[in-house]
Amino acid sequence: MINTHYRAKSNGLWVFGDLYNNCDRGVNQNFIVRDNEELGTGDHILIDSYTTGISICTMVKDRNGNLIYEGDFLRDDDTLEDGETITSFYPVVYNNTTGCWCIDNSYYNNHSHLVPMIDYFGSDMLIDGNIFDNPERLPKMNFDDIKDGYEVNKILSDESGMPF
């Protein structure tokens, strides 16, 4: 049985366990609670969810046996006919419409093209970083895309159903 359901950062280190929110007396703090089998209690680790985010576990493992979390990058190496290898990184997201874990295969990672991660990778999934530690892997719009800012954002918003 797997007890690790969430991950978040505490003092710059990833911690894993169950999520607990303390909103008692106007204090709003998030904790990751780990089982402490020796004491029969849980260790409460204060997390900074405002700057690092909280990731839920997909309960699916990559080819190395590591659990995949929301926000992880799945690596895809594609070899072209000339032998050149192109590496792509796809963030793992939850699709509320279909109720499954997907990769965001859209050009700008704006959720306009979500593909179930099992359908895309099969069992050959490989975690290679995440959106919190490697934000530079997320695509950026170039100047030509945003010079007519409103029009581009309106088009993207219309296609994805997401406001920009």
The pair of structure tokens assigned to 149 is 């800012």
Residue 15 lies in a domain: yes
Tell whether 58 is covered by a domain: no
52: pLDDT strictly greater than 50: yes
Within a domain: residue 75? Answer: yes
Average pLDDT rounded to a whole number, residues 7-35 = 79
Residue 37 confidence class, pLDDT cut points 50, 70, 90 = low
Residues 78 and 133 in one domain: yes
136 and 75: one domain?
A: yes
Instruction: Determine the pLDDT at residue 92.
Output: 93
79 lies in the same domain as 45:
no
Burial group, residue 68, by CB count within 10 angstroms (0-12, 13-18, 19+): buried
Shared-domain flag, residues 129 and 87: yes
d(C-alpha 132, C-alpha 98), whole Å: 25
Distance CA 135, CA 131 (A): 5
Give residue 143's pLDDT.
46
Q: Residue 33 falls within a domain, yes or no? A: yes
Q: Are residues 78 and 114 in the same domain?
A: yes
Verify that 40 and 75 share a domain, yes or no.
no
Looking at the structure, tell me whether residues 94 and 35 fall in a common domain.
no
Q: Are residues 90 and 136 in the same domain?
A: yes
Q: Are 91 and 138 in contact (CB under 8 A)?
A: yes
Inside any domain, residue 150: no
Q: Is 78 in the same domain as 40?
A: no
pLDDT digits (tens, 9 = 90+) for 54-75: 889 998 899 899 999 999 999 9
Q: What is the pLDDT of residues 87-109, one digit of tens each?
A: 888 899 998 888 899 988 876 55
Degrees to nearest 5, angle at CA 72 with 161 and 154: 20
> Is 1 part of any domain?
no
Decide if 155 is inside a domain. no
Residues 134 and 81 in one domain: yes
- 115 forms beta bridges with 103
Assigned domain for 115 exists: yes
Residues 21-49: what's their mean pLDDT? 70
Structurally, how many domains does the chain consist of? 2
Asked whether residue 91 falls in the same domain as residue 47, the answer is no
Distance between CA 32 and CA 46 in Å, rounded? Answer: 7
Report yes or no on whether pTM surpasses 0.75: no
Q: Which range of residues forms the domain containing residue 28?
A: 6-52
